[in-house]
Each structure stands twice: as structure tokens, then as C-alpha cells.
Structure 1
Amino acid sequence: MSETAARPTASPQGHSELLLSLGPLLREWLPRQRWFAGKGRPVTDLTLESVTELQSDAALLHLLVRAHQPPADEGPGDCYQLLVGTSDAVAPQLAPAVIGHIAHGALAGRTAYDALHDPRQAGVLLERLRIPGSLGDLRFQRRAESRIAGDLAPRPLLAEQSNSSVVYGDELIAKVFRRVLPGTNPDLELPLALAREGCDRVPAPLAWYETADGETTLGLLQPYLAGAADGWDLALEHLIKQVDFTAAARELGRATAEVHTALARALPTVTYSRVQVEQLAATMTRRLETTAQQVPALLPYVPGLRTTFEALADLAGEGLSWQAQRVHGDLHLGQCLRDPSGFWRLIDFEGEPSRPLAERRMPHPPHRDIAGMLRSFDYAARSHRPWSPQWSDACRSAYCVGYAAASGWDPRTDPVLLRAYETDKAVYEALYEARHRPDWLPVPLAALARLAELP
């Protein structure tokens, strides 16, 4: 095999050669990945959007691959970011990362694998993030004041996520977005804005990379909060030990309010007009009705839940309006970390990955994040046996008290909008659980039954 043939380029001919080698393997491998969005539908075709060689002789390739699935008239397909290693021999410890043995094309005879699981190749990504500049179809950037150490041992985080992360020496963490969309990812945009405001509740990005035209965020590097406890795990630990969690919930409410206040300073805010509030209520109603058709267990609660959104539209008709701003967008206990001193930080500002990027970047009243956290306390309580509604109620109340202490405003004084967002979140949860974790479906259904009965 010639050296030229072994080095795919960004030319159409190079793309064709690479697809001949990798296409058959990727069509089988992509749908099995946790972060693949098109579950349940076969990949009928692949298009290479870009190819960048991060190591010579195609040892490490950065690919943007568009997966086409039926029905073809639903759009151009989703674009995924892959870092693919190819080698004549793959170490045994990389067996779970293997994509397959290449039988055709310029790379025939090699084995392809997910390179983020290979410490050597993950180290290459860190080195690129340390050095600003362009390489092929990629552009690497870093904050001027950031200091990024090299020679840090990489290890991938193996938890199931919608993206992939690599920790470097318990000092840094790189997040690689898998399903990518044009636009600035809020997981970069919002932490950068908060860093400019001096808000220490969110780890500030140190470096990031994007497409060469700057239009699509691909990944970022942040400090790794070694020793910090995940909020979900912490809540379950307190439940199991029957230890009070209200003090932690109150401090988490304070942290949330501080982040909201800083975001309102850093980025533009708007006032929801009557029309916008009515559109919000109508959108929530449509989501309820559409979800009920897909999750029949939800149907008995639809009439009662619809009144929630009707009450919101009625308030708008009376002239009531709300301030909207950028928010986290998918806030729950698993998006919060508490360090050993008890200080809470918020992470993962990407928003709900299943929703369009433009929608995730829209301003919302802070109630949206608050409702997400209130739902998360309920989830934690119901995951423990016996279920303790008192634990959930106490944490929800403490969280709102902490929020009020830092913001001067108690979310419970605005019950109609808060209830609407909590209902909408529970509807989203019902659809997610029905599709991915049917055993968990009773959790959002119980909340929806309660919300349907509220006056």
C-alpha cells in the first residue's frame, strides 16, 4: 500500500477511499453507541463531511460523518464526530473499543477502533488543545490566561453519556461532542460567559476546538473537579443512610441562583410578551398530547394536565409577563458536583441533547431550571425503597429557600409558571423512560398524576 493511499485527504476521492474502508464497519457500529440519536432505524448511507489526519499514516483520524436513515424525507441525517484509530494490531485492553477489521479500500488489513479509549491517542487530543491554531478542517483555541499541563495520563470516563469524556491526570477533563450541530454549543458559550463574570460556580473552559470556519463547536477542555461528589450519588447516599439532605439542597439552591444572576448579567435578557407566553403554553400542550399518543399510560392524566397550561395562557391574557434569560436548560442532581468543603458547582450546560441547538440556546424564565431540579429530588426519593415523599418535599422546599436567599425571589411565589415547567419536564421524562428505561416510567407518571389533580 502506497504512502499516499494510506493518508486520506479532504478531497472527494479521499473521502470515497476512506468510506470504502470504514463505511461498512461504521454502519454497524454507530447504532450500537449510547450517544447515537437514531435508535431503531438502520443506517442506510454515510457521508464524510470532513477528514483530518491527527497522526500520520492514518493512525488517528478525526471524522465528521453524516448518517442517513429512513425515512429519507425527514432531513439530511445526523452528523457525528469520531476519532478513529487504525492499526495493524490492537492491544487487548482496547477490545471493547474496536469498530471492526477493515476488509476493503486503502486501509485494508488494519483494525479500526474508537481512539478516545486509547491513552496514546487521547494524549494527542490534549496536545492539540494545548496549542492554538488550525489543523486540516479543525481549529483549536484556548483562553489566553489558561495554563494547560502536558504529559497527563488519560483515562476515558466509561459512564453512559450523550457525549464522550476523557480525564487527564485528575487535573483536566475533555468533552468530545458526538452528535454535532452548526452553532456555538451552550456548554462552551455559557461557561465562557460565566468566567467573564467571575462566577466560580461553573468550571471555566481552558481550551476548545471547532470546525475551521468556527461555525460548529466540537469539544472543550475544563478543570477536572477531583474529589467532588455527584449530586445524584450524594442524594442517594443520604437516603440510604437516612441522613438529612436539606442543608445540601439549600446550598444547591443558592448555587443555582448565583449562576442565574451571573448569566443575566453576562447575556441579554428579554421580557416574554403575551404572545410568547401563549405560544409557550401552546407548545407545552402540543408536547403533552403528542407524548400521550406515544405513551398510552399518560392518557388518563391529559385533561387535568392540560389545565396547567391553560392557566398559564390565562395569566398571559391578564397581562402578566416574565423575564427570560439564558439558563442551564437540563438541570438535575447529576449535573451538580459538591467538593469536600460543601461548595456546589454546576456542569454540563449543553441542554437536552435531543432538542435542536437553536431551541437550547433560547432564553427562558429561571423557572425552567428550578423545575428540573425539583423533579430530580422526586426522582431520587422514588428510587429508594420505601419511598419517602417527606424527603422529597423537604429537599424541594430547602432548595427554594436557598434560591430565595441568594436571589431575593422565592420561586414558590410564582406557582403557575413553575407548575407548568414542572409538568412539561415530567412529560418529557415519561417519553424518555418509555423509550429507554420502561422500568422507570412509573416515576414521572406518579408525578403527572399528582400534577393533574392540583387545582
Structure 2
Amino acid sequence: MSEAATHPVTAPVARPDLLASLDPLLREWLPRQRWFAGKGRPVTGFTLVAATELLPPGSTTGLFHLLVRAHQPLTPAPGALAHPGDCYQLLIGVREALPPRLAPALIGHLDEGPLAGRTAYEALYDPRSADVLLEALRTQARIGDLRFERDRRQDIREDLVPRVVTAEQSNSSIVYGDTFILKLLRRIVPGVNPDLELPLVLAREGCPRVPAPTAWVLADLADETYVLGVMQPFVQGAADGWELALRELAKGEDFSAEARALGRATAEVHTALARALPTVTVGPPQLQLIVDGMTERLEAAAQAVPALRPYAPGLRSAFQALSDLAGEGHTWTAQRIHGDLHLGQCLRSASGEWTLIDFEGEPSKPLAERRMPQPAVRDIAGMLRSFDYAAHSAESRAAGWADACRAAYCSGYAEVTGRDPRTDPVLLRAYETDKAIYEVLYEARHRPDWLPVPMAAVRRLAADDGSP
């Protein structure tokens, strides 16, 4: 591509029989991916939502961008009716032979269709494919239904060497020359995605705690826009908050100073979002809906996880206490928040500054729900649970480590906002309880060995009376 690609260009659309030839390979490969949401249920078929050739399948390499909807039964039971499920973004490379360096990216060998005899693979592992994406972003290309946009105030060089991020995550990322990181969303829904929306808002507000988006990828399909990816500056030398906490804990080092600084960073982000976007008052009717949702999630989790059932009455009391306050006329303020805040969503730079990333929210929740204003304490509860996770998952548990971090984090938050979350113990307990219940259900389904971690919190929260 060249700078002329800033104008719309016509791209060959992938042949309709391509998906049919990929189908048997994808049924095996897709459920094994970390970001696949429908684990435990077989894939019964696919529907092609959109397809674009980014590189024609010549003598060496082809590159296809696909949006496919995976059909799965509602339950794993044999004979259950299939329904159109989640839509996934795929980048499929095609070669006559796969070099050894791309062996981990293998999807399979195509036996029929237009590319019979060739090999399909996960293209993000191929530097040439990553270069195609970078050039499209750099030049603001229009390729078929795909639209690549960028902030012209940020320079994007052509010679940045790509490398795929191999850590487990719910999306996929490529780092370019330790200068930028491109996150490609895997599960795609139409509409305004907060992972692009909120960083753009915070950039306009001049908030330094979130990297300003450099470029992004959109798809225009059937009068709806889909956000496919966001590229932001890469925080060089940064430490992942979760890994940093575990290292300090293993060494027996105090983490409260870092927790306090992280509390201040969280408060700066919340303050900027409340300044830039509308806030709403949560009165008794709205709060009752929140309480009802929390109670329903508790009942569902208790049905699925028998270990939770003895604690259900105590946990339910946390929600009832909040409902009682609403009945007395108490109100709260709701605003846009991060939505899925924990230590793994935070980076500490080499200079000691904290940065918040990944504003997508909980991918399992509908997009409209993720974009709703919520009490800021929901983010705070998520971070408090994260400190607890770190303390309980470390091989050498430090007595009081989590409590010290939780207290320091709340103090740091209060230094910026003037409001200590601990002065609203009923609301904080309700949100922390809701988060712990979610964790119990998640661990029971996906990581049973980790179930004792949230269960320890469940026992504490069930016995808590909500006092400061």
C-alpha cells in the first residue's frame, strides 16, 4: 500500500466457498483458542458475516480477514438445537508449505475448495501479515468493508518489527517495535466499543493514565459499525500489575505504596470520565434493579456450585442491606467506569507511573450494559478482590498483605476524589460480594484448583455485617 490508500480502495472479497473448505478445520481449532467463549459446547457450523482478501493467495502467502458466526447448541446435550452464536474475527494465512517458525500457528491442511492442497494458519504469527495491518493503519486504508483510521498527530513508522503477544488473554495483540501495541478484538459485536470510546474520551480530557489511541480498525456492515481493533502506544519497560504484585509478595516486600499510587491513578481516570461524560443519580428504583441482578446471579451460582450454598443467606444479606438503604431514600451517583478493573489491567512504567488499559469491560456482558453508567465503587471492588487474589495465590502467603494493600488503595483514591470508598461500606460490600460470586462460578467452571481463593472471600463476606 501507499499513501494513496488513504482513499477508498476495492479489495477482492474472499470466495464464498472458502468458508466451506475451512469449516472442518475451524471446528477443531476454534474451541481450543483462549478467546473462544463457547467452550464445552460443540461447534455445529459457521455463517460467513464478512470476508476480505488482504493479500491475494499467490504462489507464497495469502491473507484473509474473516468475520464468522459460530453455531453452537444452547447446551452440550446431544441433539440440542443449534443457534447462531458469537461472531469472531479471524485472520487466516494460507501457504503452500508452512515454515518451521510458523508451526505453532498451524490450523490445518485444506483438502478441498479453492485453496485445496495448501495450509491454513493463524496469520498473526506471520510478520508479513502483521506488516500488512500496520501499513493499512499507517495509510488509513479502505479495503472492502474494512476501514483503518488513525490519529494523524501520532507518527507511525514503516519499519517497526512485529511480535505477537503470547500471554493468555481474551483477545489477541501484536507489539510493533516496542512502540505500539495493536489489540484485535476476537468476539465482535456491532456498536460503540468502550475499548476505543473511553480512551479517546480520556485523551481529549488530557488524562495521562490511559494511552491515547493511535489508530483503530472498523468494519461497516449492513448499516452497522463494528470495532475490530485498537492500536495504542506501548508502555516500554512496564510491569504488569498482577505479576509485579506477585513478585513483591514472594520477596516479602510491602506493596502498599504501589497500591496507594494505583488508587490515585484509578481516581484520576474516574474523575476525568465523570467530567467528560454524563453522570446519573441512582435512586431507589434503579438501585433495586441492581440489587435484583446481584441476587439473581447469587441464586444461579449457588445452583451451579454446591460449595456456595451454605453461604448464600449471608451473601444475600449484603444485597438486602443495600436494598434497605435505598428504601430509606439514599441515592448514589453513577458514571462511566472501566468495568473490569483488576491488577492485570494495570501497568506500572519504569518511572513508577501507573497506567490503566483494556476498557472493553466484561466481554460476556452485552455491549449496551457495558456502556451504562455505574457506581464507581464497582471498579474499586474489582481491584480489592484482585489484591485478595494475589495474596491467596502466592506460594508464600503474607499475613495482612492484602488488607494493607486494600487500605492503601482506598486511601490513595480518597486523596484525589476526597471520598474514601470505605465510608460507604454497604455499597462496597454489595459490589465486592457480587464480584466474589462471579469468581466462584468462573473458577468452578474453568479453574477448579483456584476455587478456594474466591471461597475464602465468600466466607468473609457472608459473615461481614457491613460496618467500616
TM range (shorter): over 0.9
**Cα contact 2:18–2:113 (8 A) shared by 1:** yes
Counterpart residue number, 2:69: 66
Are residue 169 (structure 1) and residue 177 (structure 2) matched? yes
1:394 aligns with 2:404: yes
2:363 to 308, 329, 353: 353
CA distance in 2, matches of 1:335, 1:25: 33
In the alignment, the residues of structure 1 paired with residue 313 and residue 20 of structure 2 have an alpha-carbon distance, to the nearest angstrom, of 54
Q: 1:356-435 to 2 correspondence within 5 Å?
A: 356-435=366-445
Deviation at 1:75, TM superposition (A): 4.7
Q: Provide, for residues 310-356 of structure 1, a one-character-per-residue CA deviation record: whole Å limited to 9, x for no partner.
A: 01111111111111001001101111111111110101111111222
Please list the CA deviations of residues 412-438 of structure 1 after superposition, one character each: whole Å capped at 9, or x if unmatched: 000001110000000111111111111
SS of equivalent residue, structure 1 residue 148: coil
Identical counterparts, % of pairs: 67
How many residue pairs match? The answer is 445
C-alpha deviation, 1:389, in angstroms? 4.2
Which residues of structure 1 form unaligned runs of 5+?
A: 1-6
Listed as ranges, the gaps of 5+ residues in structure 2 are 1-10, 75-79
What secondary structure is seen at the aligned counterpart in 2 of 1:337?
strand
Counterparts of 2:96 and 2:450, CA distance in 1: 44
After superposition, the Cα gap between the structure-2 partners of 1:324 and 1:74, relative to the gap in structure 1 and judged at 3 Å, is: farther
Q: Report what 2:277 is aligned to.
A: 267
Aligned residue among 89, 98, 102 for 2:106:
98
Given candidates 220, 243, 268, the residue that maps to 1:212 is 220
In the alignment, which residue of structure 2 is the partner of 1:300? 310
Rounded Cα–Cα distance in structure 2 between residues aligned with 1:254 and 1:74: 48
Q: Provide the residue aligned with 1:4 in structure 2.
A: none
State the TM-score, normalized to the length of structure 2.
0.93
Counterpart residue type for residue 230 of structure 1: D
Cα deviation, residue 226, structure 1? 1.2
Cα separation, 1, equivalents of 2:396 and 2:19: 53
What's the secondary structure of 1:355's corresponding residue?
A: coil
Q: How far 1:386 moved relative to its partner?
A: 3.9
**Are residue 183 (structure 1) and residue 186 (structure 2) matched?**
no
Q: Say whether the 8 Å CA contact 2:249–2:394 is kept in structure 1.
A: yes
Q: Deviations over 1:225-257 (max 9, x none)?
A: 110111111111111111111111100000000
Q: Give yes or no for contact 2:215–2:232 (8 Å, CA) kept in 1.
A: yes
Question: 1 CA distance for matches of 2:51 and 2:178?
Answer: 31
Q: TM-score, normalised by structure 1?
A: 0.96
Deviations for 1:355-403, whole angstroms, at most 9, x for unmatched residues?
2211111111110000000000000111123433411111100000100
1:73 to partner: Cα distance: 5.9
Q: Which moves more between the two structures, 30-39 or 69-78?
A: 69-78
Does residue 196 of the first structure (1) align with residue 207 of the second (2)?
no
Check conservation: 1:174, 1:219, Cα contact below 8 A: yes
How far the C-alpha of 1:143 sits from its partner, in A, is 1.7
100, 110, 121: which one aligns with 2:118:
110
Between the aligned partners of 1:393 and 1:282, the Cα distance in structure 2 is 29
Q: How do 1:218-257 residues align onto structure 2 when only pairs under 5 Å count?
A: 218-257=228-267
CA contact (8 A) 1:254 1:405 kept: yes
Letter in 1 for 2:37: A
1:188 deviation in Å? 0.6
- What is aligned with 1:9? 13
- Partner SS state of residue 395, structure 2: coil
CA distance in 1, matches of 2:20, 2:127: 27
Query: Residue 225 of structure 2: SS of its match in structure 1?
Result: coil
Structure 2 counterpart of 1:196, one-letter code:
R
Match of 1:131 in 2: 139
Secondary structure at the counterpart of residue 57 of structure 1: coil
Whole-angstrom distance in 2 between the partners of 1:414 and 1:271? 16
Structure 1 residues 104-134: Cα deviation after superposition (integer angstroms, max 9, x where no partner) = 0001011000000111111111111112142
CA RMSD for the aligned pairs?
A: 1.3
2-side partners of 1:119 and 1:133: how far apart?
19
How far apart are the structure 2 equivalents of 1:86 and 1:217? 25
Q: Contact between 2:252 and 2:398, CA under 8 Å: does it hold in 1?
A: no
* Aligned amino acid, residue 261 of structure 2: E
Counterpart contact for 1:305–1:451, Cα < 8 Å: yes
Letter in 2 for 1:51: A
Instruction: Name the amino acid aligned to 1:216.
Output: Y
Q: CA separation in 2, counterparts of 1:324 and 1:287?
A: 21
**Equivalence for 1:35:** 35
Hey, what's the Cα distance between the residues in 1 that align with 2:24 and 2:260? 52
Q: Output the CA distance in 2 between the equivalents of 1:79 and 1:8.
A: 22
Whichever residue aligns with residue 36 of structure 2, its letter is F
- Give 3-state SS (helix, strand or coil) of 1:212's partner: strand
